[in-house]
Amino acid sequence: MPERKRAVLSAVRRFNELRSPEATAELVHLEGDLVVVKISGPFCFTCGLYDYFDDLAWEMQDRLEESVEIEAVERVGPESYLALYRIGASGRGRQESQAAPLRNE
């Protein structure tokens, strides 16, 4: 298994250890510097929904030893979101979008 995928999967496992059952992450796609993760759960909205996406970015960043930023987030169900992360990002801002590239349709 390539090192980058191993690090991302390790971050997802740690995120799930810390955040489940409120939020559970699942790696959907990893290609180059793009990572798509499905995050599902009943969430604690008073804690701040985006905190979950940020927490996973920090977990990946710690393991990859590279910057990781949220590129886009798309709600795909009542309790699930797809988050697009970019590894090695340089100051790109987060945006909520239709994010067509997040889905394999």
Give the pLDDT confidence of 35-79 residue by residue, as tens digits. Answer: 999 999 999 877 788 999 999 999 999 999 999 999 999 999 999
- Identify the domain containing residue 39 by its residue range: 3-91
Say what the pTM is: 0.82
Residue burial 51-77, b: 16+ Cβ < 10 Å; e: rest:
ebbbbbbebbbebbeeebbbbbbbeee
Check residue 44 and give its pLDDT. 82
Check residue 34 and give its pLDDT. 97
Count of domains for the chain: 1
Give me the CATH number covering residue 51: 3.30.980.10
Check residue 88 and give its pLDDT. 93
Instruction: Count, in order, helices (H) and strands (E) of the chain.
Output: 2, 5
Does 40 map to a domain?
A: yes
